[in-house]
Amino acid sequence: MEDIKPETIERAAEKVGWWAEMLTKNRRVMIEAPLAFWLSVGICSGLIGLVIYLWISSLYAAEIRAKDATVKSLETDRDALKRRLEEAGISSTPLKKRTLILATQLSEYAANWPKNAEGMSLWASFGGRFGRRIEKLRDELDEHGVRSEALDKIAGTVFDASQFTPTSVQLLANELNRLAEKVKD
């Protein structure tokens, strides 16, 4: 660096600005104590880098907190809407899935038919558990264009205490399974 003329450095400083001017004025220190100069440059660069890192990480953390708050708000709204739908009697479960669930429950009911049960009390408990759901599901299937005369006939036998048997319940479950395959989700 000894062979560079000071006039050249000064002209370069005029073009580059304050940074080059500072280097020009402190040229002697840089030449006489390069270790101290580069150590101070390293420390300053490290501090500047740390400040920038902390600033960016705080912005990132704030963004994550904002997104978490938005997600929590949306989940709360979703849960509130689900509760309102359930209170209004509207299920958020798809029709096909509800049909398959009811068919499975009816099959299990027919398979676990009590041997020594009284016909009327068993029929009454069946009607209390499944009656309204079967009728509601039949109407919803009809609204979705899935109509079945066989379902109406089988449901009629299930709701008639004299024809209430495990076979009629299983036939109803089979018909619901068949209709569930026709439902488009």
Read off the pLDDT of residues 172-182 as tens digits, 9 standing for 90 and up. 889 888 888 88
Rounded CA-CA distance 141/156 in Å is 17
> Residue 18 has what DSSP assignment?
H
Rounded CA-CA distance 155/141 in Å is 14
Structure tokens given for 134: 């079967």
Q: How remote is the C-alpha of 19 from its chain's centroid?
A: 53
> From first to last of its 185 residues, what are the pLDDT tens digits of the chain?
456 676 776 666 566 666 666 777 777 777 777 787 788 889 999 999 999 999 999 989 999 999 999 999 999 998 898 888 777 766 667 888 888 898 999 889 888 887 776 667 778 888 888 888 888 888 888 888 888 888 888 888 787 877 788 888 888 889 888 888 888 76
Position 92 scores a pLDDT of: 66
Position 15 scores a pLDDT of: 64
Position 91 scores a pLDDT of: 67
Read off the pLDDT of residues 86-110 as tens digits, 9 standing for 90 and up. 777 666 678 888 888 989 998 898 8
Radius of gyration of the chain (CA): 40
Domain ranges, ordered by start, for the chain: 6-82, 95-182
Which amino acid is it at 38?
Answer: W
Position 54 scores a pLDDT of: 92
Rounded CA-CA distance 177/181 in Å is 7
Position 185 scores a pLDDT of: 65
Position 17 scores a pLDDT of: 66
**pTM > 0.75: yes or no:** no
Q: Return the closest-CA partner of residue 161 out of 132, 118, 130.
A: 118
- Residue percentage of the chain with pLDDT more than 70: 84
